[in-house]
Amino acid sequence: MLTPYDFFAPNRIIFGWGRRAEIGAIARSLGIRAFLVSGSRTLDSNGTIDELCRFMKSAGVAVERLATQTREPEVGDVDATVAQLRQIGVQDGDLVIAIGGGSAIDLAKAVAALATNPHGESVRDFLEGVGRGLKIEQPPLRLLAIPTTSGTGTEATKNAVISSYDPPFKKSLRSDLMVPKVVLVDPELTLSLPRAITAHTGMDAITQLIESLISRRAKPIPRALCWQGLEVALPAMFQLSRDLGDRAAREAMSHAALSSGIALANSGLGFAHGVAAALGVHAKVPHGLACAVMLPAALELNCNVAQTDLAELGRKSAIWLRNERDVPSLADSASDDEAAHHFIAVIRTLNKQFDVPQRLEQLGVHRDQIPALVKGSRGNSMDGNPCDVSDDKLQAILEQML
């Protein structure tokens, strides 16, 4: 028997190379005035943002440039942007458009939600675990999300991750009402991504697909998305390690990132994301890089409890990557334990292709930070891990990785 479940996803998804040209009609279907939050200075400098604004204006949508967010949003960023929006004034027919990576989309999601929920003094009042427990009660402004990276999948989730460094935390503003109304995924927008960001965002998506697949809250539809997402993402990432301009690989990763967002919104995450949040707050490690570094340790930790899925991933990846010379081979007679460890070796190999560090000290982490990292790793992501992880176990893992 299947366990009862709910399923969340954007109302409409538009996917395809060059489809950003349709933004005018898409935006007009949502409203007549768009508040724009962007996150890519490259797309600003090369004229892409101006082009998108012209498309919208031609369709009868007025555009207000609201914010440019190039780093992970902090409490102050959200509060300042919400104040700016309220000063302009919210009207019927308003919408928010986010064009950028996860940081810009998270900021836009938080601003869209708080614009219609003024019953808190700060976004912190609404954040899980650190605020006053306030909830998003009214529907946010309609949101059109246009990702320009292939990583977080936040264009399809029901939360926005907000950080603080004094006091240190990284927590979610979360509501079923916050899933974007429309998602426009144009993989061509990812072509300008440099190698490091391609690596970090891509490994974030792969981590999300794996952790949602084996999460203790895993559900049938998200699991199907995870299997299909990993089938296209793993070969694509190996190809991008050689050729950043490969169109098919860029398309595959944009699709995989979207799938990972839908999956995590429904099934949750696990160990790697739990620790990644703490590394972001206490060591200012970029989120995708933190996920990439922690993923092999997460797989080792969960190898026994999630062995069936990890063994299947090992066997399938041997087929998906059969033409990759650097990937170790797997015998047809391999046991489940051998197949599961083969998959861990595949992930380590992929990290190596992109020069992802193996040790926490390479990220600037010091031994005296370990207790804070242990405490900061607790939250919604860690709660989804397939096995329980005590503080002592977590501390031992992090110390071994120094």
How many helices and strands (H and E) does the chain possess?
A: 15, 8
Give how many domains the chain has, as a whole number: 2
* Residue 90 is assigned to a structural domain of this protein: yes
Three-state DSSP class for residue 162: strand
Residues of the chain with pLDDT under 70: none
CA 173 to chain centre: 14
* Residue where a domain terminates, one of 153, 188, 223: 188
- What secondary structure, in 3-state letters, does 380-392 show? HHHHCCCCCCCHH
The per-residue pLDDT for 120 is 93
* Residue 379 is assigned to a structural domain of this protein: yes
Q: How is residue 175 written in tokens?
A: 């509501």
The per-residue pLDDT for 70 is 85
* Residue where a domain terminates, one of 156, 188, 220: 188
C-alpha span between 174 and 106 (Å, rounded): 11
- The answer on 234 and 143 residing in a single domain is no
Where in the sequence is the domain holding 139, given as residue range(s)?
12-188
* Residue 127 is assigned to a structural domain of this protein: yes
The per-residue pLDDT for 7 is 94
Q: How is residue 217 written in tokens?
A: 């809250």
| DSSP-assigned beta bridge partners for residue 162 | 171
* Residue where a domain terminates, one of 188, 215, 250: 188
The per-residue pLDDT for 333 is 97
pTM of the model: 0.96
- For residues 340 and 314, is the Cβ–Cβ distance under 8 A? yes
- The answer on 332 and 226 residing in a single domain is yes
- The answer on 330 and 264 residing in a single domain is yes
> What CA–CA distances, in Å, run from 394 to 209, 274, 283, 374?
22, 11, 17, 6
